[in-house]
Amino acid sequence: MHPNEKILRAALDALAVGDAGALAEVIADDVVVHFPGASALAGDHRGRGALAAVVRALTGSGLEVEPHDVLASDDHAVGIYRLRARRDGRSVEWRHVNVYHVRDGKIVEVWQHPFDQAVVEACFAR
């Protein structure tokens, strides 16, 4: 298994059980997460947990992340997921791809790519 795949899988495992300490081992303090679109999630989120805090504020809980596959190269890792969220009494689900830039054993930048941006926009409208 490529080292960057191990890093991403460690991050996913930590997220699944809510282990902030384990997450801190693989995600840089000053990570930047880019989310496309015009919803309340859109924009550049700086710092570990910044985007997650926005999601929790909007949903009351967060997202359920179901990994489908993880791929890696020397500079990047890619995660393919099914995401689920609840907001205002309704459930939404979409497929999603994240591209991660990994440097010195930590995730330093993330580009989020929902397969169906319209579903995300409708659920997380401002």
What domains, with CATH codes, occur in the chain?
3-123 (3.10.450.50)
- Residues 65-88: tens digit of each pLDDT: 999 999 999 999 999 999 998 888
pLDDT at 36 over 90: yes
**Which residues, including other chains, have CB under 8 Å from residue 74's CB and lie 6 or more apart?**
4
The stretch 17-24 carries a mean pLDDT of 90
User: What count of other Cβ atoms lies within 10 Å of the Cβ of residue 57?
Assistant: 10
114 strand-pairing partners: 96
The pTM for the full model equals 0.92
Query: What pLDDT score was predicted for residue 22?
Result: 94
Distance in angstroms between the alpha carbons of the first and the last residue of the chain: 41
